[in-house]
Structure 1
Amino acid sequence: MKKINLYILIAVLFTSSMGFSQSRKKADNLFQNRAYIEAAEIYAQLPKTASNLERLGDCYYYNSEFKKAHKAYKQVYNLRNTVELSEDFYFKYFEVLKGTNQYEDADEISTLHLGEPFNTEDFKSLLKRIVPYNYELEKLTSSISGTNFGIALYGDKIVFSSTQNMNNPNYSWNNKPYLDLYEATISKGKKLRLENIKPFSETVNTKKQHESSAAFTKDGKTMYFSRNLKKRVEIDSNKVAVVSIFKAELIDNEWTNIEPVPFSSDLYSTMHPALNSDETRLYFSSDMPGTLGSFDIFYVDILENNTYGPPVNLGSKINTKHREQFPYIAKDSTLYFASNGKSGFGGLDLFSSSFSDGEYLDALNLGETINSENDDFAFVVIDSLNTGYLSSNRDGSDHIYTFKRVENERTYFIEGFVTDKVTGNLLPNTTVTLFDKDGNVVSEQNVGEDGRYKIATKPNQKYSIEGFKPKYIPQIEFFDTNDKGNIEFNIELEMESYKDAEEIVTDDDEGNTYIELENIYFDFGKWDIKPQAARTLDVLVALLKKYPRMEVQLGAHTDSRSSFEFNMELSTKRARATLEYLVENGISRARLTSKGYGKTKPLVPCGDDCTDTEHSINRRCEFLILK
């Protein structure tokens, strides 16, 4: 009897194990096909292994259900001592912690497991001081059913994406109807409302494909929009619904010639088109080969004859190893976009990047007056009015918001210490000068006894800063006050003295700094530069060219023979001759002074009893560094 019961138990366990295995296989298949809602129902019934729980959390994560995702991910995290967890998991857990306002825990995950120490409270405090604008938001689509996002300006209308068409079939990812494009007008008055809402052209909207993220030329005759392809493509063992940018033309009031742009592909997605102000470039988001991460922002030049240049990645100042999407280009060429890879408050945050000297500067988070713990994206601004639109799922589903922005007073500055590069000692009385990108002096400050400088700057500017002190090599550093989240730029100016940098430079006992060269010989009673003297002076020419801020006094000395007047005149002429040689070889006269000392400063004070050797020692040229 006992044997029979044992066989029954083994059979039950085997059958249960087989059932779980089959369920897991079905859930994995649904997951790979992006049917996250159905997959989650099965994963929730499976044994609470790290793998099953992570997949369950992923199903919620990809539908922005962060509270549910957190519950699953936390259980996985608690198993970290028994299973190896990936960086991808830690990033997702970091995201859902932020998305549920658990910033201290998120900061800990970032610091311990992602290798990026972060303090959200400090970040918030910093942004309050540096963001260019504060935003006032108002929900525009509160009375409209479904998911709504992604405003495009279309003449006196707007065009947006929505799932409000309940006649469309449901999309398995989130069990919501496929997206269509809609057009509407904005009511005029104190409270803005959407009016005259109707589906966009039937030639653009389809039944079983998503249409979203439109962009229009100013004449309203060309549009770009995103649409997923009909058939899923298998990429890395997953079936992916590839999204492509399509172009359409308005001919006889009918949208026609609807074709994918030539830089789209069946093997990767292109989406979220945006035109710059003069319509010479089309910006977009893509996971094409060459991306830094999941999705990057690219642009193509729009050429003649309906052709395009090659896609250009905007690089690491904009893109990260995660997601950058929904670009928008303002009239002043500022790029606005959404990212979950840069420092933020959770989900996609909105960023801006100014355009300067042919490139975009590091991006700035727009701050917590516009960004939330969830996804904030699809920013559009009407520059002249400082108003615009954005989309956000901060209330649980995607909605469109209007905003007004008010300038935020902010002050940038650069500060630091000036020290000796070799000794580390502070260098008081150093002159620190701030130059603009064209080399014009913006500000100048003389460093006090504490060796510290602090100079006000402006945002989004390129500068250089120079430390200058007599007898030191000027130190120059280049920087820009771009909007990457810094207003306090700490640049330590480490300056090296000429004496430490050059073997031929030395100090005497009185603290004077000289350039030691071979002695220059003149014929008796003469001051013309002989070939041997020229070779010696060429060493000085090279040194002065190497250090264009160095200033030198050329001092000539005679021996004690002849009269005082004769020696003073002769030494003066020799010093001047030396100066003229340097000028003839490219050294600015303004950097040079000459002085004849005659016999007033002998190195060997032998009076009238000098030997020939002592006379030759006293008969010399000296090169004193003044600056």
Structure 2
Amino acid sequence: MKIKNYILVTIALMLSLSVFAQQGKQKRADTLFNKFSFVKATELYKELIENNYNTDYATRKLADCYALMRDPKNAAMYYKKVVEQKNAPIDYYYSYAQSLRGIKDYKESQIWLERFKDSGGVVNSNDFSKDINFISNIFNAKQQYFLDKVNFNSKFSDFGAIKHNGKIYFTSSRDEGYAIKRLYGWNEQPFLDVYVVDEDSKVNPDYTNKIEGDVNTIFHDGPVTITKDGKHMYFSRNNFKDNVEKKDEHGLTTMKIYRATLKDSLWTDIEELSINSDDYSTQHAALNSDDSKLYFSSDRPGGFGGSDIYVVDILKDGSLGEPKNLGNVINTAGAEGFPFINSEETLFFSSDGHVGLGLLDVFASINNENGDIIDVINLGVPVNSSKDDFSFTMNPDATTGYFASNRSGGQGDDDIYAYNRVPYLIVEGVVSDAINNNPIPNSKITLYDGSNNKIAYMETDDKGYYSINIDRNKDYKIVGSHEKYIEDYRTFTSKNLQTELTKITANLLLNPVEDVVKLAELNTIYFDFDKHNIRKDAALELDKIVNLMQNVYPDMVIRIESHTDSRGTLSYNDKLSIDRANSTYEYLISKGIDPSRITEHEGFGERRLTNGCEDGAKCEEEAHQLNRRTQFIVVKME
């Protein structure tokens, strides 16, 4: 039976993937990365690479994860893959050079540093010594945080903002009705109190916005943290109880942490915690993700410097265990304070003892797979400045939150700043039938960059919908195709977009072709390792295709796609796959096939592995063999 229509056939065995599962996995991996949960993120990025989903992007993020975890061996291995990618940002040349220094490969490191400089990169000689942390610039290379003004600052000190159940709690000295006292030796201010406003409030709070109950006193109160169930509040306060202010042996009033309970909308039943003392300060309470641990700052004896960060277990009955100093990775001879723990157990804190941009800077902990803190990283600008930057908090979305700073340009002494990380940008759309406008499920979506490099692909869901994460400030082309339709494409750009914009819509319309039939039962063509000649078994299969094109479907038009395994460099494998495509093409031509019936013969190197045998993976030869293949796509029959 003669078939006269368009047809699309892929001969090689391909692994069927749940595309939306991969999209969700990438989004989860990126969220974990943004929450500084690098161990968990590495697992997901590896899975994305194994599934050949947005491999270039996942490899870059995986390399960054290892670098941030201070694992130069693995970082160098994956950065090597990154710098071999087409159009890899030159910042990765620098990161690769740094990681090579981490494994003491100074000669190769210098080569990549020179490539970075030759490509336009600027190197500060003070930032590239043997002793410098090899990944110091990953989070600082590009601006990740963008600041938003809040409408509840005053001319006095405002800090300690947290969001809980649609309300924002913060600490302020704006009430001028009390005595004047120096706050932490910074500026003379009225005493601190705790305030609360609705998240969407447009009114600048005054004394009427103080939280109700017994938390606020005539002395300093705040900042606060609240348990997830909203029933308890931990807060800092001067050593003041029963209307009596106590002083230490030097005549100074220390700080303590207290716990309040919410009853009938009032914060009451104030309890002093067992970790307090009249002889030293205990303050800046923070809770971990399940409220089982309390973090705090204290200048108690036995620490490393002026004030250190500690943690203590909260027992089931509400009592506390023995405080534990977090050690000298976090604590220095200077002052550490204002701890905050996000949902992935990453510690954020302020310090003037770690290398920073100014006075107090905000830092984040780097944890290993056992949860141990192995290093810290400066959050960089604009969170940090040349002044004091502190009381950093993060909302559950990991992209928004608050911190405080006394930098110039503010409204008062210490001001609260809201921040947001640049949100994910996606291109989304629906692929529809151009005749009846019905959605086309399982359409193939391919994304290309401005240089026509393929960077992502997926299939539409049962409603014809697709969604792909993309980078900002780039040009793209999106192509939709289906075996029963003629492909359609759209070009678009993500340049000069507002930060708040998170979606670009690119709907596609495909015109149908009739009576498409799929050819099958043709064997895959394989090659020997590092060879591009046609083997005897491959020649037999090619002869079948010659017979098919000459005697069964004389009008059939095809294209050829050839591939390699992962061994060898990316550029070498690109050339080898092209040689294989050429060999296949030349064989068919030599057997009498008209060249006009082969639209393309392309090589894709190792970019489309059929399994998880990427660089570094332990695979048997049989598994590598599956990747050394040629595929035929029958694109036209008349």
Under TM normalisation by the shorter chain, which class is it?
Answer: 0.3 to 0.5
Which TM-score applies when normalising by structure 1?
Answer: 0.43
Q: Which has the larger radius of gyration?
A: 1
Query: Which structure has more RCO (C-alpha within 8 Å, separation ≥ 6)?
Result: 2
TM-score, scaled relative to structure 2: 0.42
